[in-house]
Each structure stands twice: as structure tokens, then as C-alpha cells.
Copies of this chain bind each other. A is one copy, B any other.
Amino acid sequence: MIKRNTGFSNLTAGYLFPEVARRRREYAAGHPDAKIISLGIGNTTEPLSPHIAKAMSDYALALSTPEGYSGYGDEQGNSALRSKIAEVFYPRMADASEIFISDGAKCDIARIQTLFGSKVKVAVQDPAYPVYVDGSVVAGAAGKNNGNGYEGISYLPCTPENEFFPDLSKIEKNTLIYFCSPNNPTGATATKEQLKKLVDFANENGCIIIYDAAYFAFIRDKNLPKTIYEIPGAKTCAIEVNSFSKPAGFTGVRLGWSVVPNELKFEDGSSVNRDWNRVMTTLFNGASNIAQAGGLAALDEQGLKDMTAQVDYYLENGRLIKNVLEGENFRSAGVVAYFTGNGPYVWAKFPGKASWDIFDKILDECHVVTTPGSGFGPAGESFIRFSSFGHRADIEEACKRLSLLKL
């Protein structure tokens, strides 16, 4: 018989979000009258912009006409969309040949591990979005979990003590560094100075940065970089992964992109962009053409305005959550809430408590689902992530209940 891939036997426990969903289901089954509100998974809740939805609707209907029909497109994405993304988000920073359209950032992160294989050293921020680690384990780039994380992965603590920016001196040469800004789960958004340090370190030490910018649209502070390519030198050391999920509400529609600069090279001088092109043409077959039509509409004048309004809505939710977490009941228990106004998550520390205990307590007493910080890595222990995605009325109701939580 065929052996199980050790990458899978090494993976411990379930993927974080299915586990959160399981606990929620179990609680709901035992408490059928509880009106549960989710501030857990970062899942968009507000309807699409009518402008963007109409573009997809029209495109889908036209597929039933000879003029409007289209079969396989280019696996790298519709060239008009690639150009438009370059023009809107990367002026003088990247061109269309460096933009690859995907079915979302998570899927691209999985493919990136295929690109680098099992021999690469990996470093992640701690806490971090679980897919960086889980994907590395599946790809064989990490070993067993020794209880404090997987062998072969460097965990770089990002905590209030270091302003959520890692100690780069802990990273070995020639490492693949996953870095997320605005950060999931901490919400921290790297400054230009911080990113410059990161880029310089990578260039000096032969590292490649996988820069996850999926929350870039939440950045409101004009001094904060929205893409790593604002930093000189980034094109020789960084891939940027990005998404329409959060700005356009495309979590279910599925559309994202990655930027793989032509300047980026492997040790043997060969082009990373060329191998990525091979990944996308050989192991992928293009994002849905309907979703891509939506992406184009999202990037015209009306679409950009609508996306900004949608993100503003979620940012206001975040402020409401932050305010309640600064209430007397939380303050007297020593809780500190971090919310920058430039990301979708409120990250709160409950000193001396275990994340899953606080998760269960909030679920039980407030009927509010959150995400336990420890699910994002060892340094996330004692933290809870509150997602600002939700209908305003639900957020207000959740805040009311949280204000009564006894800690």
C-alpha cells in the first residue's frame, strides 16, 4: 500500500478555523436558544458593491452568447486585469508581467510552497496566519511539532514588547520569511522604517520575503506603506501576495493576485518569476473569468470608491470593539486591546489566562465567537483576536454583551 505523506502525519490538531467552527456548533447544539454572534473568522459580511456585482452578473449572462463566451483564459490571468492591477496598486513599482491572478491569497500561499520545495528554511512571525506554517509542514519543509512549534521553522515573536516587529537577528541566512502587514492576527502595520530594515536584511542575507498584503486596503495612515515595493530594494527579495477578498468582499467569489518581480533570483541566478509562471500554467488553470470581470470593475473609479466605503465600515466596527475592550470590566482585569485603525483585527491580551479558556468563556457568557490567539502560534497565548467583519447591528449587540462580561 501507499505510505502516508509524512507532511500530513506531522500536522497536529485541526486547522484553527474548523476547530473554532466545531466548538461553535457544539455550543449551539447544547444551547439552542443562544443567539450566537461571530467575531471569529475574518469573513466579510456586507453585500457586494452593486457596481461590481452587476459587472459579474452581466459577464455571466453574456457567456451564453457567441460574442460573450470565453473558454480557457491565460492561466496567469486576463491581461487587462494584470495591467490594471499594476497601474492602480503598483505605479512605477511593478508591471503586468510581474502580476499573476489567482483564486485567492491562501491558495497562492500553498502554491508558493510548491515553488520553494521541501529543502527551504522557513521563518514566520509569531503569531501568524496558520497557513504559512501548515503549508510548510505539508511541503516537507518542517518536521514534527515538539509542543512549542514545528522543528525547522523559526518562530519570530511579535508582541507588544517589541512593537510587533520581530528581532531579525534571529533569522538564518537564505530563509524564506513570511511577513504579513497589516498583520493577521495582531493588526500591527509595519512602518516604512520597519519594512526597510526587513528588506535590507533580506537582501544582505539571501532571504526571500513572502509579503502577505491581503489587508492593505485597511491602511488609512498615509505614512504607512501599502505595498512592500514602496521600499527600495524590495524587488530583489520579495514576493507580494494579495487579494480582493477583504476590500471587495470577494471571500466567496475568490480572486487574488501575487507579484513576482522579474529581478527576483534563485541562488543559481535563474528567475523566480519564470518558475512561478510554470507553477501557474502547469498546476493551476486561471481564476474564474466571472470573478476576473468583477476584479476589473472593482478597479475602475466607482469600484475603488465602493471598496473604500466597504473597508471604512469594517474599520468603524473595529473602533467599536476596541472601545468596549477598554471598558472597566476589561481594564480591571488588566486586559489591553490593540487596534491600529489600519487593519481589520482587534488583538487583546488577557494576562495570565489561556486563549482557549477565554474563547470558551466569551462564547459561554456572551454567545460571541472569537479566535484564540494561541491558534496563531506560541506567542499568541493569552491573546484573543476580535474580527471587525460583521453587520453593524451584530457588532453593537456583541459589544453590549462584552461590556457585561465578568472577568
Closest beta carbon of chain B to A49's beta carbon, Å: 7
Q: Is A83 an interface residue (CB 8 A)?
A: no
Tell me how many residues of A have a C-beta within 8 Å of chain B.
92
Interfacial residues of chain A within 1-32, with CB under 8 A of chain B in the complex: 1-9, 11, 15, 18
Q: Does A291 contact B (CB under 8 A)?
A: yes
* Stoichiometry, copies per complex: 2
Q: Which residues of B contact A286 (CB under 8 A)?
A: 252, 254
Q: Give chain B residues whose Cβ lies under 8 Å from the Cβ of A71.
A: 43-45, 249, 251-252, 389
The answer to whether A4 and B267 have CB atoms under 8 Å apart is yes
Residue of B nearest to A51 (CB): B64
Task: Please tell me which one of the listed residues B3, B49, B64, B176 contacts residue A54 in the complex, with CB atoms under 8 A apart.
Answer: B64
The complex places the Cα of A106 from the Cα of B72 at a distance, in Å, of: 12
Q: How far is the CB of A282 from chain B (nearest CB, A)?
A: 5
Instruction: Tell me whether A341 is interfacial, beta carbon within 8 Å.
Output: no
Does A116 sit at the interface, judged by CB under 8 A?
yes
Please give me the residue from chain B that is nearest to A289 by CB atom.
B252
Give the distance in Å from the alpha carbon of A53 to the alpha carbon of B61 in the complex: 5
Render A48-59 as a binary contact track against B, CB cut-off 8 A, 1 for contact.
111011101111
Alpha-carbon distance between A107 and B75 when the two chains are bound, in angstroms = 11
Check if A304 is an interface residue, CB within 8 A of chain B: no
Q: Does A70 contact B (CB under 8 A)?
A: yes
A60 contacts partner chain B, Cβ-Cβ < 8 Å: yes
Most chain B CB inside 10 Å of its own CB: which residue of A54, A174, A265, A266? A266
Contact of A253 among B110, B266, B288 (CB under 8 A): B288
Chain A residues within CB distance 8 Å of chain B:
1-9, 11, 15, 18, 41, 43-50, 52-54, 56-66, 68-73, 103-104, 106-107, 110, 114-120, 130-131, 134-135, 138-140, 174-176, 206-208, 249, 251-254, 265-268, 270, 275, 278-279, 281-291, 294, 389
